[in-house]
Each structure stands twice: as structure tokens, then as C-alpha cells.
A and B are shown apart, each in its own frame.
Chain A
Amino acid sequence: MAALVAAAVAVPLLTLLFQERDTEQRSRFEYLAVLAARDEMYESRMAVACGAAADSIGHAWRPLTGNVMERLKDAAPDLSVPATYSADQRRVSTKLDLETGANPRLRVGTLQARWVDPAAGQPSGDKKERPSSLQLVFGVLIPPWVPPK
């Protein structure tokens, strides 16, 4: 009787414990991806306000590496910030696609940030497919001083 009660209590608790640790590790990199996505959303808007062509800011998958201001070097030619992305952050990659919507002065950006490279694959024995990326949809407004095409 006592063994049954102990098992009834211990099994769910241990399951929860290990699930929590798993979630914690995954959410650590997921949070880094969230930070990267938020950053790039506003960075894109700022880059366009600083003179970049709206259609040129899209890019394929690329990791967070190098200096934090590298992607804004044209907008910040005199700014020197000695900060480079950390080793953990290099695991995060982003991809930005831009589309022209109904409004010609607006580009719809779809930003994806992933923290697991699909080439690495899911851990073996994992029944459920774990989330490995997130998506952020936002608008990039072409500034009023840019003449219409």
C-alpha cells in the first residue's frame, strides 16, 4: 500500500521535475531568439529611416555573430560600440523576408529567428517535435521623404 502511494506521488513529481529542466534549457535559447527578433524588427525600421532601401534589408539565414552594430554600420559610421555577441547567441540565426502589400509605402516583414539548426536534427527518441524557431510579422514604413517609385 505504502509503495503504491509513494509511486503515485513520486512518478508525476519526477516527470514534472525533468520536464521543467528541459523547458528551462530550451527557453534559455528561445529567449535569446526573442531578443534577436525584437532587435532586428526595430533595427530594420531604423535602417530604412537612416537611408537603406526597404527592399534591400531582407536576408537569408545568418547567425548572430560579430559586433552588435555591424548590421547598422552604414547608419552609424561614427559610432563605435565594443560589444560582440556572446557564444550562446551565435546559436541563434535570423531570416528576414519582405513583401509589398496593398500600400506601396509599406513593406510587410516576416522575421524568423531559430535557435536550433534543422541540420542538427531533433534529439533521438523525442516523440513530439520541439519548437525550434519563432516568427514575427511587422511593417516597415518607407519614410515620407523617400519619393514614390
Chain B
Amino acid sequence: MSIRRRSTRAATLIEMIFFGAIASIVLVGVVGLLSRGGRLLEVSRRTSGAQVDLRVLLETLTEDANELVYLEDPAPLDSSGTGEPTLKFVVKSTRNESGLSVPPAPSLRRVEYKLGAPDGATKLRDCTRTVTLVGGSGGGGGGAPRTMARSIARMRVWPVAAIPLPDKRYNLVAAADDRAKLPGATVACLVVDVTVGMPSGETSADASSVTSVVTKLWCRNRVLEIARGGLQ
């Protein structure tokens, strides 16, 4: 009698565990179908993948270009060479940055995009972004590089400047051009050519997963000032 009661209890316990596990799975499925489900799936999708890397990199660079004030180094960034190429500029922003304590007012920040050394086997590079406050902007902290993408096969960025002409029109020239140092000249856009290789974690190149995007990321605030004649 005692043995039968014990075995019945054990069977009940196993059933509870079994059906409890099924209920948990169903619950997760229901949550996935609710309003936050898309978000949850998106987060899980973002854990890897070159497409996601590309999008995160381009969106962050777009935000930075919008608020760009001046370039610290007007030379183009080109990943085809050796070393660790960088793109440095200063933005005026109120955006929250991880690890950066900033005042609520707009502050000047130095942004640096840096391509790491190519991986020995895949030849792909990491791209990191570092934000630091420019002196006198208040606040503190920052400076820790954040990885934006892990599978950069090629990245080239050409900064372009707008220079005023005597008849008040503008012309576009390379930011490294001497005319971009004239009074009234300003940075206008970043021409970006970026190719991501393959999903993070893969060990061999797969041509079908390579994606290239070429676009111009405009310095929104500069362009709007130029358009309304605010810089002349």
C-alpha cells in the first residue's frame, strides 16, 4: 500500500514537471504573439548576422552624420590598406551614449570610428565607435569603444565639403581639398561604401551572404543651414 502510494506520488510529480514544461513553452509562444513579440524576435535576430551589423552601423553613422559639426581629419577612410584606419569628427548632440554622463544641453562630442586589424582567416574587420566629450562640454565618462559590426569586408568613407562660391552658390569638393578650409566652407556629407562579409561566427566566406551598400549620409544640420542661406 505504501509502495503504491509512493509510486503514485512520483508519477504525479513527473506529470507536473512534464505538463509544467509544456505550459511554459506555450506561455513563451503566447508572449511571442503579443505586442512585444515582434520586439523579442527582433532582439533575438540581432544577436548575429551581417545584415544586422550593416544596418546598425549605417544607422549609427547616419545619426552621427546628421549632427556632425566638423571633421577632425578630412582624409577618407579606406579599409583596403594596412593598419587600423579611423574616421574622426565632432558632433553636437543630446543623445544618450552608453557610459557617457552628459548634461541635458547639447554637448560637443568626439566620435571615432575605427576598423580593427583584419582577422587572419576571414580577412574581416571589426568596426568600433568611441565617443568622448570635448573639453568644456561638461559631464564626463565615455571613451570605451563599442563594437558596431564584426564582419566588415570593406569600408570606405569619403568626407565631402560644401564651399561657397562668389555668386553665393555652393560647390561640393573633397573635404581634404584646400578649398574646404576657406571661410564659409562646411562639411556636407559622408559618402559611404561598406561591404559586410558573412554572418558573425562563420568561418568561411560565403559569397551569397556578402552585401554592399553605397550611399551618401548627409550632415542634416549643415545642409539645412546651407539651404536657408544661414552660413552666408
Contacts and interface: CB of A to CB of B under 8 A. Distances in A.
Interface of A: 5, 8-9, 12-13, 16, 20, 24, 28, 31-32, 35-36, 38-39, 42-43, 45-46, 48-51, 68-69, 72, 75-79, 81, 83-89, 140-141, 143-145
27 contacts: A9-B22, A9-B25, A9-B29, A12-B29, A16-B32, A16-B37, A20-B45, A31-B55, A35-B215, A39-B216, A39-B218, A45-B227, A46-B218, A48-B227, A49-B226, A50-B171, A50-B172, A76-B171, A78-B171, A78-B173, A78-B177, A79-B173, A84-B214, A85-B214, A88-B213, A144-B228, A145-B169
B131 to A, nearest CB: 23
Given A35-B215, A79-B172, A145-B229, A5 B188 contact: no
A104 B174 CA distance: 33
Nearest to B224: A45
A24 B58 CA distance: 17
Interface of B: 22, 25-26, 29, 32-33, 37, 41, 45, 51, 55, 58, 62, 156, 158, 160, 162, 167-174, 177, 188-189, 191, 193, 211-218, 220, 223-224, 226-229, 232
Interface secondary structure of B, over-half rule: mixed
- Between A8, A46, A72, the greatest number of chain B beta carbons within 10 A of the residue's beta carbon is seen for A46
Nearest to A17: B41
A48 B170 CA distance: 9
B55 A42 contact: no
Contact of A83 (B45, B191, B211, B226): B191
Contact of B189 (A16, A32, A42, A141): A42
A144 B212 CA distance: 39
Contacts of B51: 24, 28
A42 B151 CA distance: 29
- Between B45, B215, B224, the greatest number of chain A beta carbons within 10 A of the residue's beta carbon is seen for B215
Contacts of A84: 214
A43 B179 CA distance: 21
A98 B169 CA distance: 21
Contact of B191 (A50, A69, A75): A69
B214 A144 contact: no
Given A31-B55, A50-B170, A79-B173, A86 B33 contact: no
- Between A78, A83, A88, the greatest number of chain B beta carbons within 10 A of the residue's beta carbon is seen for A83
A81 B159 CA distance: 10
A75 B226 CA distance: 14
B160 A45 contact: no
The 7 tightest CB contacts between A and B, nearest first, are: A42-B218, A76-B172, A86-B212, A145-B168, A51-B169, A144-B229, A83-B193
A118 B51 CA distance: 26
Contacts of A79: 160, 172-174
B31 to A, nearest CB: 11
